[in-house]
Amino acid sequence: MSDPKNNQNSAPTSKNIEDRKTNDNLKDESRRNLIKNVAYATAGVGAVCAFLPFIDSMNPSKDVQALASVEVDISNIKVGEEKKVMWRGKPIFIKRRTSLEIDDAKKVELSELKDPQNDSDRVKAGKEEWLVTIGICTHLGCVPIGGQGEYKGWFCPCHGSQYDTSGRIRKGPAPKNLEIPPYEFLNDKTIKIG
């Protein structure tokens, strides 16, 4: 006698029919999930591709990037002189300090300063004779006059703030030192600001 379990030609039972339906349903559900996942992935890639040009349009244009920095020839600035240039609509003071001005700036005690900062923190190492500042008073935004005031740095004619030869506030209503812009020496004759 043959075993009914191994007999493939036996008549389908209701249990076999249910098992086949369950298997077919699982296969259909698996296919549907695959199709949904492919559709979601395609939509996601499409959305990213559609938004990339929009996001890229938020980047500054080449001409704006060119104005973001300025190169300044400093070869013609004599010791003790100052050059003014514009960067992003702001005046920049480039001062070639004398050795006396540097020594005086280094001797100042931090406790004497309203906004304590060492002279060495305001200049580039090895280029201590060069001080580069944004020429806007930190009180109300006036442009200070160079070589004026008690400290022979800068004097703000609007409200009397006085800065030393390191651009640090020494007297008057200004709360902060003259700001130092981002800059670097490209060589001994050129500074890049920004």
Among residues 20, 31, 127, 159, the one annotated as catalytic is 159
Q: Which residues contact 13 (CB under 8 A, 6 or more apart)?
A: none
**Nearest CA to 97 among 130, 121, 55?**
130
159 is catalytic: yes
CA–CA distance, 72 with 190 (Å, rounded to integer):
6
Tell me the two tokens of residue 148: 């004026």
Contact 165, 133 (CB under 8 A): no
Please state, in angstroms and rounded to a whole number, the distance separating the CA atoms of residues 62 and 71: 16
Q: Contact at 8 Å (CB) between 156 and 139?
A: yes
146 closest CA partner among 30, 133, 61:
133
Residue type, 165: T
Bridge partners (DSSP) listed for residue 83: 94
Q: How far apart are CA 177 and CA 166, in angstroms?
A: 9
Q: Please choose, from the candidates 89, 112, 114, the residue with its C-alpha nearest in 3D space to the C-alpha of residue 194.
A: 89
Residues taking part in catalysis:
159
